[in-house]
Amino acid sequence: SAVISQKPSRDICQRGTSLTIQCQVDSQVTMMFWYRQQPGQSLTLIATANQGSEATYESGFVIDKFPISRPNLTFSTLTVSNMSPEDSSIYLCSVEQGANTGELFFGEGSRLTVL
């Protein structure tokens, strides 16, 4: 298993500002995943972050809006840029047990409210 720490746990932000979410894992992992969870909706994968390479973004998500860093095998950040109220959501960091198993460990999430 893996223990994942995310911060901030919640924040209230003003429209047009940017916020960086940090994700720390207690073990080295190859891939880290960033998800968005909007109220009443399913989890949506934003991007996959591999150490030493550019993140891979899913359809509908772009690097300019959601830049990701992955400086080492235990840490990643997701920035939500130029925020609008539509970005209000829970953002979750996760890692996988093994490779391509579908068994994910999640952080507790970062709840962002954009005014």
Which residues form the interface with another protein (CB under 8 A)? 4, 40-45, 58, 92, 94, 97, 100-109, 111
Unique residue bearing structure tokens 């999430």:
109
Q: How far is CA 18 from CA 72, 110, 114, in A?
A: 23, 14, 10
- Taking the complex as a whole, the smallest distance from the CB of residue 9 to another protein amounts, in Å, to 8
Cα separation of 101 and 83, whole Å?
33
Residue 74: CB atoms within 10 Å: 18
Q: Which is nearer to another protein, 62 or 82 (CB)?
A: 62
Whether the link from the prior residue into 8 is cis, omega within 30° of 0, is yes
In the complex with another protein, the residue whose CB is nearer, 64 or 103, is: 103
Q: How far apart are CB 82 and another protein at their closest, in Å?
A: 26
Q: Which residue has the tokens 């979750």?
A: 92
Which residue lies nearer to another protein by CB, 17 or 97?
97
Contacts of 40 (CB under 8 A, 6+ apart): none
- CB 6 → another protein: shortest distance, Å? 8
Pick 52 or 102: Cβ nearer another protein: 102
Task: Report in angstroms how near the CB of residue 106 gets to another protein at its nearest.
Answer: 3
